[in-house]
Amino acid sequence: MFRSASPSESRPEGPLELRRRARLTPSEWKRKALHAGMGLFALTLRWLDAGPAAALAGAALLFNAVVMPRIGRGIYRDPRARRDAGIVAYPAMVLLLILVFSGKYLTVAAAVWAMMAFGDPAAAIAGRLIGGPTLPWNREKTWVGLLANWAVASSAALAVFVFVSRRPATPDSAAILVIGAAVYAFLESVRSGIDDNVVAALPTALVVYQLGLIWPPRLLAAPGGGAWTPLLVAVALNAAVACAMGALRVVSVSGAVAGGIAGAVILAAGGWGAYGLLWAFFLGGTLATRLGYRRKAALGVAQADSGRRGAAHVAANCLVPAALLLVGAPGAAYAAAFAAALADTLGTEVGTLFGRRPFSPLTFRRLEPGTPGAISVPGTLASLAGAAAIALAAVALGVSPARAIPAVAAGGFIGALAESVLSAMGARFGFRLDHEFANALNTFVGAMVALRLGAGLA
């Protein structure tokens, strides 16, 4: 984001691949057993309040970070490493869940903890021992692993929820947890560049929490009185738009299909205003990508395939906004997600063309063009303009009120800046964010910042 130059980060869309069955080593079995065994401590939330539970989670975090490197490297993925990111991230995310969902919502933390503890090992074991077709968005993981994760995470979350809450399961609570487990399994399957525990836990918990507040969602409500008509209109319209975009080669074939699905969901769940904001982002991002394309191509930093976006790009930029509509989040959060997406796109494209003196967002020291996380003044200004433009468009389209403009614009800018900060940290600490995941993270951070700054804004 904001960078002055970088190589294209697009990946070709490959054919279906099969993953062969493989054995798990004894150390891997021990690791999975320990991972699942720690999940049994989620049952203690039946008796513990948030304070004692957080203290125990904090102690586990310190133990895994300080003591395990001395006594437990035998279960590390790489025994030669000084620390294992997953072993540290697991208790860290449990601690975060307990702190965020304290009080009467501690059952949410318990349920998602169960998903982490049992869904993750189930996916790894099934994926390795059974193999099968790989996921189109992550060739390192399989459909078998994804489905095993979903099935086990759903069952474990429901069992732990019933035990901790001390009340029987209802159809509504079961449906919410099954949907939450599907979100968790999907997020765990995404190629991110960082540990899966960090990626999946908090967003899943937020989805479960929000669904509990607005259940049933608009699209899942019982149809009646012509309630199916808006959905049918949304599907038909976006099917036609997808065909036109594909025929005109504005987007790739996969991008047209994914865009049609995203557009149908957004129109059906959010109405014409939300749909208009989707188009505002798409047109702004497309124009920015085409700006100076020949010059960017000559420098080797242009978007691949003549700037035509594929399914991965659509998912990265639209998945979070669509999910926000489905779970009934305020319009300001939806707008801020697209504000972050456009801010990131403008920052990158303008920074690539006009950024001459890139620098680090952490130290403000000069960096070479193309350095991960580098930002520039032109890119930063363009990012601010993009976030503000979406904030104003959201008001004009009736998506969010005028008083939400500062929260939406700030959320959009901070969300876009998050990628640069994390990329700079990755260059320093030895990890690299996946490009599509980073774009989705931008939208999520933007929405969360807007919610925090403008709590209660519709």
Residue scoring higher pLDDT (152 or 242): 152
Q: Is the pLDDT of residue 3 over 60?
A: no
Provide the β-strand partners of residue 133.
18
Task: Scan for tokens 């790894």, then name that residue.
Answer: 124
Question: Which of 257-266, 335-344, 428-437 has the lowest average pLDDT?
Answer: 428-437
Q: Is the pLDDT of residue 435 over 90?
A: no
Question: Which of 35-49, 223-237, 371-385 has the lowest average pLDDT?
Answer: 223-237
Question: Which of 167-181, 189-203, 243-257, 272-286 has the lowest average pLDDT?
Answer: 243-257
Question: Which of 10-24, 82-96, 147-161, 169-183 has the lowest average pLDDT?
Answer: 10-24
- The arithmetic mean of pLDDT across residues 97-112, rounded, is 94
Kindly write down the DSSP assignment for every residue of 274-317, as one continuous string. HHHHHHHHHHHHHHHHHTTHHHHHHHT-SPTGGG---HHHHHHH
Q: Is the pLDDT of residue 371 over 80?
A: no
Model confidence pLDDT, tens digit, residues 67-93: 888 887 777 777 777 777 888 899 999
Question: Which of 70-79, 175-184, 289-298, 400-409 has the lowest average pLDDT?
Answer: 289-298
Distance between CA atoms of 123 and 135, rounded to whole angstroms? Answer: 13
Task: Specify whether the CB–CB gap between 392 and 406 falls below 8 A.
Answer: no
pLDDT for position 4: 42
pLDDT for position 431: 78
Q: Is the pLDDT of residue 123 over 50?
A: yes
pLDDT band at 44; cut points 50, 70, 90: very high
Task: Scan for tokens 């049992």, then name that residue.
Answer: 118
Kindly write down the DSSP assignment for every residue of 194-237, as one continuous string. S-HHHHHHHHHHHHHHHHHHHPSPGGGSPP-SSTTHHHHHHHHH
Identify the top-confidence range among 9-13, 189-193, 251-255: 189-193
Q: Is the pLDDT of residue 216 over 80?
A: no
pLDDT band at 174; cut points 50, 70, 90: very high
Q: Is the pLDDT of residue 9 over 60?
A: no
Nearest to 184 by CA among 97, 100, 293: 97
pLDDT band at 309; cut points 50, 70, 90: confident
Sign of CA dihedral 286, 292, 297, 300: negative
Catalogue the long-range contacts made by 11-14 (C-beta closer than 8 Å, 24 or more residues apart).
Answer: 11/312, 13/136, 13/252, 13/254, 13/310, 13/311, 13/312, 14/139
pLDDT band at 193; cut points 50, 70, 90: confident
Task: Specify whether the CB–CB gap between 313 and 436 falls below 8 A.
Answer: yes
Task: Specify whether the CB–CB gap between 437 and 193 falls below 8 A.
Answer: yes
Domain boundaries, the chain: 19-215, 227-453
pLDDT band at 335; cut points 50, 70, 90: very high
pLDDT for position 228: 64
Nearest to 274 by CA among 218, 207, 312: 218
Mean pLDDT, the chain, integer: 86
Distance between CA atoms of 297 and 303, rounded to whole angstroms? Answer: 8
Task: Specify whether the CB–CB gap between 42 and 101 falls below 8 A.
Answer: no
Residue partners of 74: CB distance under 8 A and separation at least 6: 27, 30
Q: Is the pLDDT of residue 422 over 60?
A: yes
pLDDT band at 223; cut points 50, 70, 90: very low
No. of helices (H) and no. of strands (E), the chain: 17, 3
Q: Is the pLDDT of residue 254 over 90?
A: no
pLDDT for position 304: 58
Q: Is the pLDDT of residue 31 over 80?
A: yes
- The arithmetic mean of pLDDT across residues 297-320, rounded, is 73
